[in-house]
Chain A
Amino acid sequence: ETGVTQSPTHLIKTRGQQVTLRCSSQSGHNTVSWYQQALGQGPQFIFQYYREEENGRGNFPPRFSGLQFPNYSSELNVNALELDDSALYLCASSSRKRMETQYFGPGTRLLVL
Chain B
Amino acid sequence: DIVMTQSPDSLAVSLGERATINCKSSQSVLYSSNNRDYLAWYQQKSGQPPKLIIYWASTRDSGVPDRFSGSGSGTDFTLTISSLQAEDVAVYYCQQYYNNPRTFGQGTKLEIK
**A, B bound:** no
Residue numbers of A with Cβ under 8 A of B are none
